[in-house]
Amino acid sequence: MTGLYEGLGVPVALNGVGPATRLGGLPLHPDVWAAMQESLASPVRMDVFEEAAGRRIAELLGAPAAYVTSGASAAMLLGTAAAMTGGRADLVDRLPDTTGMRRRVLIQAAHRDPYDRAVAPTGAVLETIGYPDSTHPDELDRALGDDVAAVLYRPGKPGNLLSLAATAEIAHAHDVPVIVDGAVHAPGLERLRALFTDGADLVALSGGKGFRGPQASGLLLGRADLVAAVGAQHQDMDERLTTWPPGLAAGRRTPPRHGPGRPMKVGREQIAGLLAALERYVRDPGGDEAPGIAELDETERVLREGGAEVTRHHDAALDVPSLHVRAGDGAAAVDALVLALAARPVPAYVGEAEAWRGIVTINPMALRPGDGVALGIAIVESLEHR
């Protein structure tokens, strides 16, 4: 299997970051490869496959409805478009020209994140309410109106913020749906189900993070009418109206044309692989993390033996243990360590979220057998040779 990368001169990396898109995501379980491979042997009608997989996934996750996307970002974009158009063909065909449509999307300042970029291609305008450490209910209530398409909500942020339940209550009083970016909030399944109990209308999830599915997969879960509206803006519409089976794009009353989601299509291997990964996850939640965590123990041992300053933590978002390793006094020490690790013959990567205080972090999720020791040695050597 290494032949492909070796042949191109692309070094296989040691990934201590975890499910990072820039590192290709996680190594996947052979059950997931097998499902992807099986799907690739035969053609199918994609809208029919999407619909059937969506029904099965909704059942597995306990969600009202589900639609497979190419990632959480794509799910945020498609969910926003669904909230703006309701799947109406005349509106879908007009995007990103939002004339006459609900187009404002509200978000608490504390919830802002670079992934908010996903909302913009629909033509929607993101509007921040509140401040980085607090939002008042009135600030949301006052901002709502009949030109608001959705409230975007990102759970797990600290501060005196509006809870999801409070946000949903206020938004629903204005008939506005709440879209949750749950990319690092689910799994676990209880956390996911609580989002719906609290009033989320749509939840965007990553397939390639904690669910350990294909990197270019994700999910939009939630209200059946909004999920149904997604097909109309995402499915391939290279069809004639007279011979076109309604399927997932039902509700279009004009000749089908490609919607704004067409540039983020999913292949049948993404759907098949994500479905297989979710079946595994639901059977034994978190069970596939054990081998990586055993590798992390090895990294910790090698680091301690090598004299590195290391502490063990729990990554609450991804629900896995993590290591914090001191690189030095501040960000510059982290820069030096990270650059030294990346320059090695087997390049190694570690988390940089705590760089400002001189710490690099290590996540176990992408560590393969032997990676734990190798990563520990790489860090000890890089710290020594500065």
Residue 380 CB, nearest approach to ligand PLP (Å): 30
From the list 124-132, 176-184, 244-252, 353-361, the region that binds ligand PLP by CB under 6 A is 176-184
* Strands 218-222 and 202-206, sheet pairing: antiparallel
* Strands 320-326 and 359-362, sheet pairing: antiparallel
Number of residues that bind ligand PLP (CB under 6 A): 12
* Strands 125-129 and 104-108, sheet pairing: parallel
Residue 353 CB, nearest approach to ligand PLP (Å): 11
Q: Which of 107, 180, 184, 359 binds ligand PLP (CB under 6 A)?
A: 184
Contacts of 310 (CB under 8 A, 6+ apart): 300, 303, 304, 323, 324, 325, 326
Give the nearer residue to ligand PLP in terms of CB position, either 196 or 211. Answer: 211
From the list 65-73, 135-143, 254-262, 283-291, the region that binds ligand PLP by CB under 6 A is 65-73
CB 218 within 8 A of CB 73: yes
3-state secondary structure of 179: strand
Task: Convert residues 130-159 into a mask of x (bound to ligand PLP by CB under 6 A) and - (unbound).
Answer: ------------------------------
> Interface with ligand PLP includes 206 (CB under 6 A)?
yes
Residue 309 CB, nearest approach to ligand PLP (Å): 28
Q: Which of 183, 186, 325, 374 binds ligand PLP (CB under 6 A)?
A: 183
Distance CA 48, CA 211 (A): 24
Q: Measure the CA dihedral 52/54/60/64, to 10°.
A: -120
Residue 278 CB, nearest approach to ligand PLP (Å): 14
> Interface with ligand PLP includes 113 (CB under 6 A)?
yes
> Interface with ligand PLP includes 218 (CB under 6 A)?
yes
From the list 32-40, 49-57, 181-189, 270-278, the region that binds ligand PLP by CB under 6 A is 181-189
CB 259 within 8 A of CB 81: yes
> Interface with ligand PLP includes 115 (CB under 6 A)?
yes
Say which DSSP state 105 is in: E
Distance CA 76, CA 115 (A): 9
> Interface with ligand PLP includes 163 (CB under 6 A)?
no
Residue 54 CB, nearest approach to ligand PLP (Å): 17
Give the nearer residue to ligand PLP in terms of CB position, either 89 or 264. Answer: 264
**CB-nearest residue to ligand PLP:** 71
- HSE-up of residue 208 (Cα within 13 Å, Cβ side): 22
Backbone angles phi, psi at 8, to 5 degrees: -95, -5
> Interface with ligand PLP includes 181 (CB under 6 A)?
yes
Distance CA 11, CA 346 (A): 6
Place of tokens 């946000």: 167
Residue 112 CB, nearest approach to ligand PLP (Å): 11
3-state secondary structure of 238: coil
Interface ranges with ligand PLP (CB under 6 A): 21, 71-73, 113, 115, 181, 183-184, 206, 208, 218
